[in-house]
Amino acid sequence: MKYKVTQNTHYRYEHSVSQSINQIRLKPIDDVKQECLSFKKEFSPDVPSYTYYDYWGNHVETFYAWEDHNELLLVTTSEVIIDPYAFINTLSFSPQMHDAFRSTSFQQQYAEFLMKTYYTTLDDEICEQLTVDFWNQSPNPFEYVKLVNKYIYDTFTYQPGSTTVQTTAAEALAKKEGVCQDYTNLMLALCRYRGIPARYVSGYLYVGENSAMRGDSATHAWVEVKMPTAGWIGFDPTNNVLAQDQHIRVAVGRDYADIVPLKGIYHGGIQHLDVKVSVHAIEENVKSMK
């Protein structure tokens, strides 16, 4: 699939502001499963910006809007090809894979994605109690993740506005409602508890014309887990699906704190942020030339 994603990020301020420094993570990932053909950004008013790649491989742009301004518009446009054949639906675990999964070297290699972070800290007893049946029922970790994916989807009520970007897995679990970020935080906690390396993914969701997919068609969040010999495999607990060619990945990290798409510090009045995203499928059945 080939997509064109356009994001309008509109900052408006009640009083004029200055000395604004911002960091954005909006450029789609470029890797074996997804090719980012182009990424363009336009600021108005025009301001200087600088890029680097962070520890997790995400593209980060820092821009400085120094002079007094009352609003700032940022339009980013990307073209992305996702290879539909790069995905799997099942994974059969050989005894070697089981061994590899349990090995110290595997656990060590992905230590960052097994740790408890601000958003994903959950009591061990709660994790145990929630997942003991799924774990025992599953022939392998991959099947376990599927069950957890479905469990969260079934148990949670999708309720925009019920949580904030600060809400943790523990808090969301207590309410059993939230948005994609909350689903994702809990899923990360439950995978990591069982020793499955799991990372937070932020990106865009292609909902198509008549899609039943939930989630802000704008920005979405889901999970990727690492299985021995396989790459990172995407799961979307908000929709109870594997994240495949409708999920356009922008950034990955241990949790939301690593991938915050937009953040900034400035002097002046209260900010109103308005984000509009459109995702269009340009061509189907397009394969990356990589």
Partner 1 sequence: MLSRVSNSLYWMSRNIERAENTARLISVRLIGSIEHEENHWDELISIIGGNEAFEKKFDRYDAKSVMDFMSFSSSNPNSILHCIKLAREDARAIREIIPQELWEMINSFYWDVRQFKQENWSIDTIDHFYQMIIRQSALFQGMVEATLSFDEAYLFIKMAKFIERAEKTSRILNIYYYRSEDPDHNDPSLYRHWFAVLQSVSGHEAYLKRHRPFISGERVIEFLLFDDAFPRSIQYCIDQVYSVFQELENGKIEHYSEDLHQLIALMRNRFHEMTVVDALTEDLHQFLQRFQQDCFKLGRLINKTYYLGEVYV
Partner 2 sequence: MFKTYKTESFFDEMLQQQGQPRSHYQVLYNRLASLPHDELQNRHEAAQQNFLRQGITFTVYHENQDSERTIPFDFIPNIIPKDEWQNLEKGLIQRVKALNLFLDDIYNSQQILKDGLIPRDLVVTCSHFYPQVTKIKVPRRNHIFMAGVDLIKDDQGEFRVLEDNLRNPSGLSYVFQNRYVMRQIFPDFFQDYDINSLENQFSHIHEALSSIAPNGVSNPNIVLLTPGVYNSAYFDHSFIAQQLGIELVEGRDLLVRDRTVYMKTTRGLRRVDVIYRRIDDDYLDPLEFLPDSMLGVAGLMDAYRAGNVTISNGVGNGVADDKAIYHYVPSMIRYYLGEEPLIKNVETYFLRDPEQRQYVLANLDKLVVKQTNASGGYNMLIGPQSTSEIREIFRKKIQQNPANFIAQPVIKLSRLPVFRGENFSGCHIDLRAFVFNGEHPHVFPGGLTRVALKEGSLIVNSSQGGGAKDTWVTQD
| The one segment of 59-67, 86-94, 212-220, 237-245 that binds partner 2 by CB under 8 A | 59-67
CA angle 92, 96, 97 (to 5 degrees): 45
Asked if residue 103 binds partner 1 (CB under 8 A), the reply is no
**Does 237 help bind partner 2 (rule: CB under 8 A)?**
no
Size of the site for partner 2 (CB under 8 A): 23
State the minimum distance, in angstroms, from the CB of residue 185 to partner 2.
18
Minimum gap (Å) between residue 275 Cβ and partner 2: 19
Among positions 45, 52, 132, 208, the unique one binding partner 2 when judged by CB under 8 A:
52
Among 111, 212, 270, 289, binds partner 2 (CB under 8 A): 111
CB nearer to partner 2: pick between 139 and 269: 269
How is residue 100 written in tokens?
Answer: 């590899």
Among partner 1, partner 2, none, residue 265 binds (CB under 5-8 Å by kind): partner 2
CB 142 within 8 A of CB 234: no
Residue 18 binding: pick among partner 2, partner 1, none (C-beta 5-8 Å cut-off by kind): partner 1
Q: In the beta sheet, which residues pair with residue 230?
A: none
Residue 164 touching partner 1 (CB under 8 A): no
At what angle are helices 124-137 and 141-155 packed, to 10 degrees?
120
Of 15, 46, 50, 284, which lies in the binding site for partner 2, with binding defined by CB under 8 A? Answer: 50
User: For residue 240, how many other CB atoms are within 10 A of its CB?
Assistant: 16
Give me the least distance between CB of 265 and partner 1, in Å please: 12
Q: How far is the CB of 253 from partner 2 (least distance, A)?
A: 8
Q: Which of 109, 137, 164, 278 binds partner 2 (CB under 8 A)?
A: 109
Q: Does 267 bind partner 1 (CB under 8 A)?
A: yes
Residue 274 structure tokens: 């308005």
Provide the minimum distance between the beta carbon of 255 and partner 2 in the complex, in angstroms, as a whole number: 12
Q: Which of 37, 64, 260, 268 binds partner 1 (CB under 8 A)?
A: 268
State how far the Cα of 48 lies from the Cα of 19, in Å rounded to an integer.
Answer: 12
Give me the least distance between CB of 105 and partner 2, in Å please: 8
264 binding partner 2? (CB under 8 A):
yes
Contacting residues toward partner 1, per CB under 8 A: 18-19, 267-268
Contacting residues toward partner 2, per CB under 8 A: 19, 21, 23, 48, 50, 52, 54-56, 62, 64, 66, 107-109, 111-112, 114-115, 258, 263-265
